[in-house]
């Protein structure tokens, strides 16, 4: 990146700075999250611009990765959640699309049966990733918890 002030960079520029700083620091997302007191899922999501850090966590994150002081404001700004809507070619990301394509309608139907006509919030939400030992090969265990939001009738 050429020499520009933090006020001149985009959120994408800051994300690239963060990824380089993380690599230089030799830290995992779990280690970073533990040091700032957040979950690894939330930390990565906020670091890549899909969520906003609370100001105190933005400061801790920026300090840990030796980011410029002004990065704190950008890390704490409300995100603009724009992502590529095309099906990704990365095998791991594609499998998540595949899971939603195969099981999304089933999950929606089961949520509606259990709770009524509504959705699971991705705003009032948490997700945890674990390694689950298995005789046929370790498994990825994702636990998602989102607040139920019923549709309003007006």
Q: Which residues are catalytic?
A: 95, 98, 121
Q: For residue 89, with 0-12 CB atoms within 10 Å meaning exposed, 13-18 middle and 19 or more buried, which class applies?
A: exposed
Among 109, 145, 108, residue whose Cα is nearest residue 124:
145
Q: For residue 57, with 0-12 CB atoms within 10 Å meaning exposed, 13-18 middle and 19 or more buried, which class applies?
A: buried
* Eight-class DSSP state of 135: T
Interior/surface letters 32-45, b for 16+ CB within 10 angstroms, e for the rest: bbeebebbbbbbbb
Residue whose tokens read 């265990």? 141
């Amino acid at each position: 990146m050429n020499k520009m002030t933090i006020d001149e960079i985009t959120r994408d520029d800051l994300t690239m700075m963060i990824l380089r700083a993380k690599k230089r620091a030799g830290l995992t997302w779990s280690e970073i999250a533990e040091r700032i007191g957040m979950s690894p899922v939330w930390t990565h999501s906020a670091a890549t611009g899909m969520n906003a850090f609370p100001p105190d966590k933005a400061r801790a994150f920026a300090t840990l990765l030796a980011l410029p002081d002004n990065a704190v404001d950008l890390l704490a700004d409300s995100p603009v959640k724009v992502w590529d809507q095309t099906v990704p070619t990365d095998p791991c990301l594609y499998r998540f699309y595949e899971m939603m394509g195969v099981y999304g309608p089933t999950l929606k139907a089961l949520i509606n049966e259990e709770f009524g006509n509504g959705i699971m919030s991705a705003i009032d939400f948490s997700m945890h990733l674990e390694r689950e030992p298995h005789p046929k090969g370790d498994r990825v265990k994702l636990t998602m918890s989102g607040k139920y939001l019923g549709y309003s009738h007006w």
